[in-house]
Structure 1
Amino acid sequence: MKTLKYPFHYLLSFMLSISFLNTNNQEPQTAQEYCARAEKSEAQKQISQAIEYYEKALQLKPRDIDILFSLGKISHYAGNNEKSLFYLKQLEKLCPHSLVIHETLAIVYRAAGMLEEEKNSLEKRIKLNPHNAYHNAKLMEYYLRRQEIDTVISRWPQPEMPWYGNSLINKTCLLPIIEKSLGLGDKFQMLRYAKILKELGATVIVQTSPELCPLLSLCPYIDTLILEKQPIPAHDMVCKSNLYTMALKALENRATFTTPYLYADKKLEKYWQNKLASDSTFKIGIFWESNRITNHYETQSSPSARSIPL
């Protein structure tokens, strides 16, 4: 009697693996199977393949809410807002009272530059849930982006903003620039508002972290500079919410500036001028890394190796 060249369990494993491969290569037969393939492709960042699978699933179930929503979202992520809106509008007809759908539509409308449609979607959310703070804040943000601050004040009275529309002369404003989630670039952008407040007549207190103190101490529009753990002087208002910053951004256009809002140390300027005097090559400064604390670190940062060819 001849013995098998390979043990039986090896042959069984081989046969099962062949069977699995054949099954895995088969074209899906149901919408659920197509969706499973789409989700797997999406997880592997194969967006075009995922969209193709979702579209095949939709052919089998044309009014499926989950498939339409998945296609609306993934098309937006792929940069195709036109296709995203095509699916989301169908979904809106099927679910006219869905807050999530109106929110997603508002996001895509904004990305597509369709501001009136964005506002309509935001307004629909308010009608469905008038007292929801988040929905009201999003609509308020829309008007602030459009610099329609008067609309905001009349529609959402702000007791903490008595200064709006009035003179800031003899008013003291505290501007905290200490959030851990903010990168240095974000903090520099926030500093613009200190200059705006000063231009509008306020006394400005800036609260910041130790590493920024040497640079910020050179800014003539900051009256008082304090560290985050130091006692805070008396003040009339705190400028830290989105409402404040966006309102000030709108006011920025009403102020007139002819000078920058950041200043370099003169000694350091001379030091680097002397150090680089013999180097005539063209120099470029690159900000390549975002704040590691934020959830957007990977998408907002670039590996340093990519700069080597430069």
Structure 2
Amino acid sequence: MAELQQLVQHHAAGQLTDPLSAYRDLQDRGVQHPVLAFNLAQLEFAAGELERADHCLDQTLKMQSDLAVAWALRGTIKRRLGEIQAALECLQRALELDEHQFPAWLTLSVLFHDQGSYLEAIKASTRALDLQSDSAAAHANHSMILLALGQSSEAEHHARLSVQNDAELPEAFLNLGNALHAQERWDDAIQALQEAIRLRPLFAPALSSLGNALRAKDQLLEAEEMFRRSMEAEPSYFQAYSNLAITQRALGQLDQALDTALKALELAPDHADVHSNLGVICHERGEWGEAEAALRRSLELAPDHAESHFSLASILLQQGDYEQGWLEYEWRFTHNARHPIVREVSDRPRWLGPQQQSHVQQIVLLHEQGLGDSFQFIRFAPLLSAYAKSVVFTCPKPLMALFASSGLVDEVLPIDVDSEQLSRDAVWLPLMSLPAVLGLSESSFGEAIPYLPVDGERVKFWRKKLDSCCCLIALNWQGNPEHEKTTSRGRSIPLEAFAPLAMLPGVRFISLQKGYGSEQLATCSFKEQFVSCQDEIDAAWDFEDAAALMACSDLVISSDTSAAHLAGAVGARLWMPLKRVPEWRWGTGGSTSPWYPTATLFRQERDGDWSVPVQAMRQDLELEILAASERAS
């Protein structure tokens, strides 16, 4: 015992060159004492030897089961090992023994944060700050939790307080970087995270967060390297595996992404984010059952996990479960809280639906998300006339004239409408919430086709301009690249992929492509087969002109963009080449769509390979041209 006392004294005085080896040596010689076991546990933990530290704490608590600080440290280690329930039990035991146990409150706040229980986390973090208001670690944790609650400015404030209290604390710069990331200040975030890594080169969370910042800047390969460095620094750091899986998904490496996500799950089987990421990856692989199971498990662990609800909505809707799918789809607002997808009318209430408000003065439908979403969902607007004296739609300026002439609503106003232009008793509703509020089923989708008008005068104008040919095809091939970094990735098709269609006799093309992707026309191998008035078409940006040109064409071929929705809404004949696992509205298989009866869907068999759908279109088109030729003769 005297030898242990001497070792502890020398350790406290800083007189040991290698304290870890000294404590290990004493334990190996058979000395058993809670002080020895606990001090060794702290040293093993500091050295990153989590399993050995946990073993030492097990020995400590067998000898002194009421040592609150040991329970607190064990809770921290169990969390790092991914044993979430065990961590919670250890921390609760520590606080039962000593409610003023600062490390226990600190780790408990992190654990609740990791589980998505942010309100519980902020309570625990506040208790920690109450106990030590000048703690850099506590401010860093508070910053992390505030960030999870969407309070990025407050998170930055506490992160900077953490830096002020300890400019050598890597966690302070880690959370500062994450707070700056949330404000989309990518370069500032990267700088803060690099400082965290400078202070601690093998700091796995900082390496992983730096990977996230690089991924946000679309530097996917650099991000991948950071995640791998994080995994090397701490092989049990499951977040790095989960983040790498999402990056591999973004790179189109779905097999590798699945393997990595399963490794993350092995490390953290009780973590909601891990199950959520796995669900998203399985969805993109077309593994519907596995995806749904993973997302439902995520929601069992964290019932308010917005991303899991939103992802589950996509799976349910894609499989035709509209009753539950629409309800889950309401989570899109929480999921997109940092980038609101709808401009609410701030001084008017949201409409609660016909059961609670069966008749109101005015319902204001609000455009949300992309232009194609409004083309698709505006069909339901007339149903609201049963519940309101007037129905108003607010939308971006490019849509106003077309919707105003449709007769689907009583009035069309700009998306930034002044509330003084609305009835004092007006209520509002996001357009894409209409099916959920009214409980609409698939049978109501295609009833009103066509529901958007085509201007007859514009049709006459363009028919005079267009070349006479056997088969006139209107093409749209490219979506907005900014929308193709997540589930829309891979929806666009290179213009050159349509070359097999150009080889058929009598085929001419119209390009409906505007902006992104239109530059491909200048270099495609069949550019001479576009109509002679293409320059005039390129200069016509109104959707009314696009609708008229579709009406002038024998066929519209469009990737999954607003042009496809417009074609379906005006009743034009539409062929859609779709990626192997498309967006939810196009279902899981088949060549028809309940949304657009005039559409035929041509699906990829392999990710990124357009040859099969294009060849199928070529064969069908060739048969039609041959049949038309025989009829003419």
* TM-score (normalizing by structure 2): 0.33
Q: Are 1:160 and 2:349 an aligned pair?
A: no
Which ranges of structure 2 fall in alignment gaps of 5 or more residues? Answer: 1-200, 331-350, 493-514, 528-633
Q: Are 1:224 and 2:438 an aligned pair?
A: no
CA contact (8 A) 1:85 1:105 kept: yes
Q: Deviations over 1:43-80 (max 9, x none)?
A: 78574x97689669868865443542343122211222
Matched residue, 2:238: 65
Cα distance change, pair 172–114 in 1 and its aligned pair in 2 (3 A): farther
User: Residues of 1 paired with 2:367 and 2:394: CA distance?
Assistant: 5
Out of 66, 73, 97, the position equivalent to 2:270 is 97
Matched residue, 1:141: 313
Q: Deviations over 1:115-146 (max 9, x none)?
A: 2222222222322233x272674376254554
Q: Are 1:272 and 2:486 an aligned pair?
A: no
Matched residue, 1:251: 441
Cα distance change, pair 31–218 in 1 and its aligned pair in 2 (3 A): same
Per-residue deviation, 1:154: 10
Partner amino acid for 2:412? Answer: I
Cα distance change, pair 304–211 in 1 and its aligned pair in 2 (3 A): closer
Q: Are 1:118 and 2:308 an aligned pair?
A: no
Matched residue, 1:108: 281
Name which structure has the greater RCO, CA cutoff 8 Å, separation 6+: 1
User: Residues of 2 paired with 1:248 and 1:67: CA distance?
Assistant: 43
Cα distance change, pair 147–86 in 1 and its aligned pair in 2 (3 A): same
The 5 A counterparts of 1:48-87 are 63-87=236-260
User: Residues of 1 paired with 2:423 and 2:481: CA distance?
Assistant: 27
CA contact (8 A) 1:54 1:67 kept: yes
Partner amino acid for 1:174? Answer: I
Per-residue deviation, 1:219: 1.9
Per-residue deviation, 1:108: 1.0
User: Residues of 1 paired with 2:517 and 2:302: CA distance?
Assistant: 44
User: Residues of 1 paired with 2:306 and 2:223: CA distance?
Assistant: 32
CA contact (8 A) 2:380 2:434 kept: no
Cα distance change, pair 95–289 in 1 and its aligned pair in 2 (3 A): closer
SS at match of 2:516: coil
- Report sequence identity in percent: 16
Per-residue deviation, 1:268: 1.7
Matched residue, 2:518: 304
User: Residues of 2 paired with 1:272 and 1:266: CA distance?
Assistant: 10
SS at match of 1:284: strand
Cα distance change, pair 45–213 in 1 and its aligned pair in 2 (3 A): closer
Matched residue, 1:4: none
CA contact (8 A) 1:205 1:223 kept: yes
User: Residues of 2 paired with 1:46 and 1:291: CA distance?
Assistant: 15
Which ranges of structure 1 fall in alignment gaps of 5 or more residues? Answer: 1-29
Per-residue deviation, 1:152: 7.0
SS at match of 1:253: helix
**Which has the greater radius of gyration?**
2
CA contact (8 A) 1:105 1:118 kept: yes
Q: Deviations over 1:199-254 (max 9, x none)?
A: x967772413454333223324x14123144324867x744175445677962434
Per-residue deviation, 1:81: 2.1
Higher share in helix: 2
CA contact (8 A) 1:88 1:101 kept: yes
Partner amino acid for 2:266? Answer: K
Give the alignment's Cα RMSD to 1 decimal. Answer: 4.9
Cα distance change, pair 287–263 in 1 and its aligned pair in 2 (3 A): farther
* TM-score (normalizing by structure 1): 0.60
Per-residue deviation, 1:255: 4.9
Out of 453, 475, 478, the position equivalent to 1:263 is 453
Q: Deviations over 1:249-273 (max 9, x none)?
A: 9624345526312211112222222
Cα distance change, pair 176–267 in 1 and its aligned pair in 2 (3 A): same
User: Residues of 1 paired with 2:462 and 2:326: CA distance?
Assistant: 49
Per-residue deviation, 1:90: 1.7
Matched residue, 1:11: none
User: Residues of 2 paired with 1:76 and 1:154: CA distance?
Assistant: 27
Cα distance change, pair 183–120 in 1 and its aligned pair in 2 (3 A): closer
Out of 353, 359, 365, the position equivalent to 1:176 is 365
CA contact (8 A) 1:183 1:291 kept: no
Cα distance change, pair 137–53 in 1 and its aligned pair in 2 (3 A): closer
User: Residues of 1 paired with 2:428 and 2:472: CA distance?
Assistant: 43
User: Residues of 2 paired with 1:99 and 1:86: CA distance?
Assistant: 18
User: Residues of 2 paired with 1:61 and 1:137: CA distance?
Assistant: 31
Partner amino acid for 2:521? Answer: S
CA contact (8 A) 1:73 1:84 kept: yes
User: Residues of 1 paired with 2:519 and 2:457: CA distance?
Assistant: 32
Partner amino acid for 2:393? Answer: Q
CA contact (8 A) 2:272 2:299 kept: no
Matched residue, 1:27: none
Out of 375, 383, 405, the position equivalent to 1:188 is 375
User: Residues of 2 paired with 1:295 and 1:79: CA distance?
Assistant: 12
SS at match of 2:401: helix
User: Residues of 2 paired with 1:61 and 1:80: CA distance?
Assistant: 23
Matched residue, 1:3: none
Aligned residues between the structures: 261
User: Residues of 2 paired with 1:102 and 1:151: CA distance?
Assistant: 20
Per-residue deviation, 1:83: 1.9
CA contact (8 A) 2:295 2:311 kept: yes
User: Residues of 1 paired with 2:481 and 2:422: CA distance?
Assistant: 27
Out of 394, 416, 427, the position equivalent to 1:208 is 394
User: Residues of 2 paired with 1:89 and 1:291: CA distance?
Assistant: 30
